[in-house]
Structure 1
Amino acid sequence: MFGIRHAFRSLLSPHRNRLPRLIISTIIVLLFLTSLVEYHTGTIQRSTLPWFETDYDVPVTNEDERVLPKPPQPPSSPVWAERAEKVKQAFVHAYDGYWKYAAPHDELQPLSNRSRDNFNGWGVTAIDSLDTMLLMGLDDLYIKSLEIVKSLNFKEESPNKNGGYIANYNVMFFETVIRYLGGFLAAYAITNDQLLLQKADELAEALNPAFETKSGLPMFSLNIVTGKAYTASSGSLAEIASCQMEWAYLAHLTGKKAHYDKATNIQRILTTANISTIGMLPNRWDLTTSLPWDDRLSLGAGADSAHEYILKYYLLTGRTDPASLDLYLRTTDHILTNLLYLTPERSLLYITDVWSIEPKASHKLEHLSCFLPGLFALGIHSLPKSAFTNDRASTLPRHDLLKSYALYDLHLWAATGLGETCWLMYADQINGLGTEEVTMNYQPSERTHPKDWHVKGGHWINAVEEWRVSGVGGVPPGVEEKLPVKEDDPLKRDYKIRRKEYFLRPETVESMYMLWKATGDVKWRERGWAMFEAMEKHTKVDSGYAILEDAVISPPKKRDEMMSFFLAETLKYLYLLFKDDDPISLDKYVFNTEAHPFPIFSWSPTERRKFNIP
């Protein structure tokens, strides 16, 4: 700053000719103002994100052909408070419609203004939304919703609003746990209202017959009145392994060893399973022997939340279960090396299903799988760098490549690249909303540019290794920012739409939130806002928000459904994404798979003795 002032003083000296002095001073001022603009818009720097601080960074080539990540922006602004308020208004609009036309039933049908009981008939939208109301300061809605909570009796058939009866049979264990039990526990964590803890404990006791298998792994469903569980020989990974957080936290609150035993039994089965030949936990499990049933590996439907709970159980219980952390790192090792692919044209990084014994990939990307960049981001945010060790012995394909990298970097790159792709699944579409499933291109077309060495398709880790060895520089393949492609051309987009529905799902929004928290890069907030604007424009109706039957036509075709997770998850993550005061810190809370926050705790000495915790 002293140099600038000195230059101005010299130029303004009366001993100099005025015209050259004026020209030079004008140039200096313009250069100075340009620098300020570039600094504040982020164009003066390449990036401050961690991947540019590694040993792999070399000068960028062809920088004009690649959109580089922008540096983090100032996080606080009145704009974000306004946007959070608009999300709050959206919640009020949706819940008012539910309360007027559907309560105390499960869900609102927002086109016909009718109700439906598809999740036990206990008012799932109300229970699933309790903690969202509390976080948003909607105390009036919360208080009146407690009337539904007070009326619940899980062991008896009870009259419903229309004078008929709710048949409490075929209660789906997984959905009941994550929506109802999770909803009670999170609302209790915020309010300390004993009614909520009482209902949580009553519900858990009513669900206990689902665990009465030879393995102790829970059944898919049960008749909650008779206690008779639905018999099956196998269960999906998500259904059997997405309840440990709820039962462990409930054990901590109630002191009941029976609750703890159910949670730890599942963790023991998962962490000691022999998966050395397939690399990670498969999709189906034998409920009698507790052994893997198949070799299909997935981060989509039937498996997603179980992988999520491996890390989250470790974090929730005060990082006192090293076996869970080891399983998380072994799982992500295999994801990084065998389940992540690049498309050949746009270099889109994606996760897909694979069959391990006779290796093949489906190249299908599900919206449900878009929680994964958020899970990677949560690990980056919550675990110390020292936790990311890559000294695990393995003979599985490509695992040896991990030893050439700092594992933390690979997790960050994967989180960013997957987040980029999941965002583009929205940004590419004419309505700005992501479809349920796409099939990724995996073979190069004739249009592949010969200069684009990094765009070839195939396993991501192989492309990253080629990038590292070549010394081309810049960001790793699949991690660079990309522009949306609005044309409905599979060759240009590098994928074909497989299912056209938009279910108001939370997974991509969740990842935008987690990536914002992990990196501080405001682009994730901006993308979340663009998604919310598209929801407002294309799914909002007079009494709520409607699922889209076909999201790729304009105007989109709507379906008469509004799922409870839209209020419990999608709007909650958007609200937290735009809030500056961080009401639910990731250092203090862990979200269950339905976005219900549980406070992190450590087992007390008394609990350790009572529960036989090593």
Structure 2
Amino acid sequence: MLCVRKSYALPTIILICLTYFLFANLPPGAESPSVNERTESPDTPDQANDGRLHFTKKSEKYPVSEYIPLPTAAPSPIPQIQYDFPPESWWGRRQRVKRQKAVKEAFTHAWNGYRKHAWMHDELSPLSGDTRETFAGWAATLVDSLDSLVIMGLMDEFEEALKAIEHIDFSTTHATQINIFETNIRYLGGFLGAYDLTNGTYPILLKKATEVADFVYASFDTRNRMPQSRWEWTRSAEGLGIEPSRNTILAELGSLNLEFTRMTQLTKDPKYFDAIQRIADEMEDAQKKTRVPGLWPLFVNAQDMSFPDPRFSVGGMADSAYEYLPKEHMLLGAQTKQYRKMYDAAMDPIKKRLLFRAMTRDGKEVYFPGNIQATLSPGRETLEPQVEHLKCFLGGTVGIGAKVFDRPDELSIARKLTDGCIWGYDIMPTGIMPEIMYISPCKHLESCPWEEKKWYKDVRDRLAKGAQLEDLTGMAKSLIQKHGLPPGVTQIADAQYKLRPEAIESVFIMYRITGDQELQDAAWRMFRNIEKMTRTEFAHAAIDDVRDPHTEQLDYMESFWLAETLKYFYLIFSEPDLVSLDEYVLNTEAHPFRRPTAA
């Protein structure tokens, strides 16, 4: 509905339009405003010359009386993460640089397509050359790619992008809701990563970061100071109250730490750290009280800060909440033990209740994290052996945790998790892992001989449960052929590849930790297959079915393709001191924040 104000419009029409504008399109899980909130007298809207509503700072409804301070003690030593790489051979360097140049060419191809066809828009549609506005219309791909340009030495392109960001107005948007998590990791993270990577040489980056941070900080102005994750920013702009949702995605609540901490470190403004520390304290307090002590469920009642959801996973909707535990510890310079405690509490149930080994025909020892739905009898829940591309981050996270928290026995788990995702790529006809698939799980982690009949039964149970068993083998073979299932796979629930970075992220991290060149070779296989299947005239596109070498391409390319996926491919073929993991913490969008240095 479009409400157009005219000077001769009747007051009743104006009132109807205003009411619709303010209260329509509530975010998923958001509560309708209370009667008191609906009858509040809004502040006079802030209108710029463009006729759009603009957000300006207003008196908070629930101000903080005393900020929780950023730890000020000297940073403590953190164990070294990166492998001590020996001098490179002439042949090794030649091969590595050749691969690195191929990644850079792919990045340049996609960047030039965005620059020519979608400049200042959020995303390029890589088949049609059209544009998409998916993250409030603030040029998401441009901001998300800033530090990638620096890392790849594309400084002319970087300087051009810097001039463009001056024109981004973070006080207004056509979007009715702001996804705080995505705005935080892509925009705020993008500015902070480029600022840190260029050693603060370009003040405009911190200026724009502050604009974004101050804008989204208003989403914390709720009764309990928990953010409204799908923020109704127009209500705040009108001076009306907001509340956090009773159905808040875990990752959207628990993945604001790094960016807001770095803002306080750089600006000395305590409000940012205070905001996320309140979340951390609530999550730590609740961690051992959930249905699976040590883990948080997929959804949180952020209005009451309760955790009744019975579903537990480290995949989509949960992933970065766990990823940020060791990373926040590093960014704080190990000045507190809070994140170590939270990581320790989480790892035990992850290992005991989520991890499983995939049954593979060649006996390869690969691990994946599954899902569980908690029951009234703890420990008796059924593990769902779901493999999700988004879960591939876990190998790198466990690898980092093993190093910084001195848990060396878990390095082998990290490697097996990473090898699992490499296996997921290698078994597909396109050489690319699907978005979601199900695997035949081993009964034990230690020993797992290949059992053809077990695979057949698992396929039948997944795809034709309840069918007659007269010919299990024949039925299973028919299902396997019909659905294009490689050995050990029981279902491919989503066959798309969406240009995701999580697998190469863990391969990169484990390479930097171990120095194992087999990981570089795996990365090269992954890159060549992805480049072959996704390249378009304008850039790169998601694909519809990784089982089909002639699959259809899809007309979208999210900003993380340039911000993360190609960055990780480039870095694994770079010299190891480029964005060293002992100098930087990478946020969940691969933006590097400089770590404090211990005395």
User: Same-fold call, TM > 0.5?
Assistant: yes
Residue in 2 aligned with 1:525? 520
Which among 378, 392, 399 is matched to residue 377 of structure 1? 399
- Read off the aligned partner of 1:271 and give its amino acid letter: E
- Whole-angstrom distance in 1 between the partners of 2:272 and 2:292: 31
Matches within 5 A, 1:177-188: 177-188=184-195
Farther-moved stretch of structure 1 (241-250 vs 343-352):
343-352
> CA 1:322–1:112 in structure 2 vs 1: closer, same or farther (change >3 Å)?
same
SS at the partner of 1:548? coil
1:345 Cα deviation (Å)?
4.7
CA distance in 2, matches of 1:168, 1:82: 43
Distance 2:153 2:481 in 1: 39
Q: Which residue of 1 aligns with 2:311?
A: 296
Q: Structure 1 residue 526: deviation in Å?
A: 0.6
Give CA-to-partner distance per residue, 1:543-578, whole Å, 9 cap, x none.
100100122112121000111000000000111100
2:373 corresponds to 1:355: yes
Q: CA deviation at 1:452?
A: 6.6
CA distance in 2, matches of 1:206, 1:452: 53
Q: 2:204 — aligned with what?
A: 195
Residue pair 1:339, 1:354 contacting (<8 A) in 2 also:
yes
Provide the C-alpha distance between the structure 2 equivalents of 1:223 and 1:442, rounded to a whole number of angstroms.
43
Please name the residue that 1:104 is paired with. Answer: 120
TM-score normalised over the length of structure 1: 0.72
Say whether 1:440 aligns with 2:439: yes
SS state at 1:557 partner? coil
Matches within 5 A, 1:256-271: 256-271=269-284
Shift of 1:356: 2.7
* Partner-residue secondary structure (3-state), 1:498: strand
Alpha-carbon distance, 1:144 to partner: 1.1
Equivalences for 1:212-611 in 2 at 5 Å? 212-227=221-236, 229=242, 232-276=245-289, 278-279=292-293, 280-346=295-361, 348-358=366-376, 359-383=381-405, 385=406, 388=407, 408-409=408-409, 411-442=410-441, 490=485, 492-601=487-596
Q: Partners in 2 of 1:545 and 1:296 — Cα distance? A: 35
1:165-217 deviations in whole A, cap 9, x for unaligned? xx142111111100000001111112211111111111111111221233322
Alpha-carbon separation, structure 2, partners of 1:305 and 1:422: 18
Report the alpha carbon displacement of residue 436 of structure 1 after superposing the two structures with TM. 0.2
Residue of structure 1 in register with 2:139 after alignment: 123
Give the deviation of 1:274 after TM superposition. 4.5
What SS does structure 2 have at the residue aligned with 1:179? helix
Q: Which amino acid aligns with 2:280?
A: Q
Structure 2 counterpart of 1:233, one-letter code: R
Tell me by how many angstroms 1:603 deviates. Answer: 10
Distance 1:130 1:274, change over 3 A: closer
SS at match of 2:543: strand
Residue 81 of structure 1 contacts residue 580 of structure 1 at CA under 8 Å; is this kept in 2? no
Aligned length: 470
Amino acid at match of 1:530: R
Q: Give the partner amino acid of 2:418.
A: G
The aligned amino acid for 2:302 is: L
Contact 1:174 1:220 in 2 (8 A): yes
Separation (CA, whole Å) in 1 of partners of 2:329 and 2:544: 38
Corresponding position of 2:152: 136
CA distances 1:437-476 after superposition (whole Å, capped 9, x unpaired): 00112378xxx9xx9765689xxxxxxxxxxxxxxxxxxx
- Cα deviation for residue 413 of structure 1 reads 1.9
Cα 1:230–1:428 shift into 2, 3 Å: farther
Amino acid at match of 2:387: L
**How far apart are the structure 1 equivalents of 2:366 and 2:261?**
38
SS at match of 2:553: strand
Contact preservation (8 Å) 1:365, 1:437: yes
Alpha-carbon distance change, 137 to 486 in structure 1, aligned in 2, over 3 angstroms: farther
SS in 2 for 1:497: strand
Secondary structure of the residue aligned to 2:288 is: coil
Of stretches 314-323 and 128-137 in structure 1, the one that deviates more from structure 2 is 314-323
TM-score if structure 2 supplies the norm length? Answer: 0.74
In structure 2, distance between residues paired with 1:218 and 1:73: 49
Q: Deviations over 1:104-130 (max 9, x none)?
A: 111000110111111111100000000
Q: Deviations over 1:507-550 (max 9, x none)?
A: 00001001101111111111111111011211111110010012
Report the alpha carbon displacement of residue 263 of structure 1 after superposing the two structures with TM: 1.9
Specify the code of the residue in structure 2 equivalent to 1:266. Answer: I
Work out whether residues 287 and 296 of structure 2, in 8 Å CA contact, stay in contact via their aligned partners in 1: no
For 2:93, which of 65, 73, 77 is the aligned residue?
Answer: 77
| Higher mean displacement: 570-579 or 373-382 | 373-382
8 A contact 2:114–2:124 mirrored in 1? yes
Look up the SS of the partner of 1:143 in the other structure: helix
* Deviation digits for residues 129-181 of structure 1 (CA, Å, limit 9, x no counterpart): 00000111101111111233100121135xxxxxxxxx142111111100000
Please list the CA deviations of residues 573-612 of structure 1 after superposition, one character each: whole Å capped at 9, or x if unmatched.
11110002421111110000000000112799xxxxxxxx
SS for the counterpart of 1:442 is coil
Taking the aligned partners of 2:400 and 2:139, their CA distance within structure 1 comes to 31
* Cα deviation code 1:483-507 (max 9, x no counterpart): xx99976472344211110001000
Residue type matched to 1:215 in 2?
Answer: N
Q: 2:545 and 2:359 mapped to 1: Cα distance?
A: 27
**Partners of 2:189 and 2:249 in 1: how far apart?**
20
- Asked if structure 1 preserves the Cα contact closer than 8 Å seen for 2:584 and 2:595, the reply is yes
Structure 1 distance, partners of 2:486, 2:520, is 29
